[in-house]
């Protein structure tokens, strides 16, 4: 099944009432149980279900309009880099009425230096903005399918708070959708600990494919992910912070273990990443309830409770603290 067929199927019965402009915000998200491995690369269908937490008002705001001669894509008020613009234009091709172009202004309020991926919030905001421009009035769940076609982790950026992305089983991916877990955990905090904001040399798609094809440890990954997914849901339902932190940290390290055992080996860590991990382990040994998670990059995302914020900031002066439920844009 091709991406175009999925889009046509989804939009077949929808009304079209185009407006002058469509505008939307979508939050960035951090996975606590990671998406790592595609069962279908074209549709970004995952091997395992994943679970994330959205970053409140940190994310992407996008405005889309129709344009005449060619696509015009601005990123943070500047013409977007060529690869970024090409990726967006290829995505817009899926929705393009014949002979029509788009004017896209996209702004990230995630500091680039934080080393946080903006493709998740970017494709979620673009899907929402297109829905408003075209007047489709798709349900959020349907929009999570459209966002997934841009980037897997974007599936989860359609909602605030805790979000699950069901792997699904269908080959067309119509059951591979996101769903919010209701209820705020208002004293939970995320600390962004930036080690480097350099572009990674191996993108997540290539990393996933290499791992899936060559790592012996990948065989156990989907089993661990399934257990972690259930444990995280239990931890969230019972507000069990140690269970949440342990499960998230172990899940991230297990994902990185599959990369280290791939061939050629894949290691996103820098010496400072390891130093930060060791500092977290030391803090925990000294009684601080502090955990971390990491994605396909060198930066850490710390997990802790509000009561420990001062202690965490004292140990990690450069940390940027995010309250996931603190004022949604």
Which positions touch ligand PMV (CB under 6 A)? 31, 34-36, 50, 117, 119-120, 151-153, 204-205, 295-296
User: What residue has token string 């140990």?
Assistant: 315
CA-to-CA dists, residue 129 to 19, 22, 324, angstroms: 11, 5, 22
User: What residue has token string 């489709």?
Assistant: 136
Which residues does 277 contact at the CB level (< 8 Å), separation at least 6?
A: 292, 300
CB-wise, 108 or 153, nearer to ligand PMV? 153
Q: Could you tell me the smallest distance in angstroms from the CB atom of residue 295 to ligand PMV?
A: 4
Q: Could you tell me the smallest distance in angstroms from the CB atom of residue 46 to ligand PMV?
A: 8
Which residues does 220 contact at the CB level (< 8 Å), separation at least 6?
A: none
Query: Which structure tokens are listed for 244?
Result: 């949440």
CB-wise, 91 or 136, nearer to ligand PMV? 91
Cα–Cα distance for residue pair 119/255, rounded to 1 Å: 20
CB-wise, 117 or 143, nearer to ligand PMV? 117
CB-wise, 31 or 110, nearer to ligand PMV? 31
Query: Which structure tokens are listed for 75?
Result: 């990123």
CB-wise, 22 or 152, nearer to ligand PMV? 152
Q: Could you tell me the smallest distance in angstroms from the CB atom of residue 6 to ligand PMV?
A: 17
CB-wise, 36 or 185, nearer to ligand PMV? 36
Q: Could you tell me the smallest distance in angstroms from the CB atom of residue 116 to ligand PMV?
A: 10
CB-wise, 47 or 80, nearer to ligand PMV? 47
Q: Could you tell me the smallest distance in angstroms from the CB atom of residue 19 to ligand PMV?
A: 29
Query: Which structure tokens are listed for 123?
Result: 């494709």
Other beta carbons less than 10 A from residue 206's beta carbon: 13
The H-or-E segment that residue 46 falls in is strand 45-46
Q: Could you tell me the smallest distance in angstroms from the CB atom of residue 319 to ligand PMV?
A: 20
Cα–Cα distance for residue pair 187/268, rounded to 1 Å: 30
Q: What is the dihedral of CA 158, 159, 160, 165, to 10 degrees?
A: -100
Q: Could you tell me the smallest distance in angstroms from the CB atom of residue 203 to ligand PMV?
A: 8
């Amino acid at each position: 099944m091709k991406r175009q067929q999925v889009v046509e199927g989804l939009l077949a019965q929808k009304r079209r009432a185009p407006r002058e402009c469509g505008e939307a915000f979508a939050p960035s998200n951090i996975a606590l149980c990671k998406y790592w491995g595609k069962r279908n690369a074209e549709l970004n269908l995952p091997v395992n279900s994943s679970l994330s937490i959205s970053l409140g008002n940190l994310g992407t705001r996008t405005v889309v309009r129709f344009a005449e001669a060619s696509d015009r894509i601005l990123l943070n008020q500047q013409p977007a880099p060529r690869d970024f613009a090409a990726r967006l234009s290829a995505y817009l091709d899926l929705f393009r009425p014949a002979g029509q172009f788009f004017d896209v202004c996209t702004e990230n309020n995630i500091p680039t230096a934080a080393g946080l991926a903006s493709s998740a919030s970017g494709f979620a905001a673009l899907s929402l903005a297109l829905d408003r421009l075209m007047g489709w009035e798709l349900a959020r769940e349907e929009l999570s399918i459209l966002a997934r076609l841009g980037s897997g982790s974007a599936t989860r950026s359609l909602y605030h708070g805790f979000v699950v992305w069901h792997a699904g089983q269908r080959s067309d991916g119509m059951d591979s959708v996101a769903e919010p877990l209701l209820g705020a955990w208002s004293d939970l905090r995320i600390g962004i600990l930036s080690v480097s904001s350099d572009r990674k040399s191996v993108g997540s798609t290539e990393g996933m494919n290499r791992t899936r094809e060559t790592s012996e440890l990948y065989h156990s990954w989907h089993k661990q992910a399934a257990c972690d997914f259930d444990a995280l849901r239990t931890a969230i339902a019972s507000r069990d912070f140690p269970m949440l932190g342990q499960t998230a940290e172990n899940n991230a390290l297990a994902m990185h273990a599959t990369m280290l055992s791939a061939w050629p080996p894949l290691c996103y860590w820098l010496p400072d990443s390891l130093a930060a991990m060791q500092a977290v382990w030391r803090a925990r040994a000294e009684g601080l309830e502090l955990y971390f998670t990491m994605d396909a990059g060198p930066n850490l995302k710390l997990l802790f409770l509000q009561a420990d914020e001062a202690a965490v900031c004292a140990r990690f002066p450069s940390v940027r603290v995010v309250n996931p439920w603190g004022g949604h844009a």
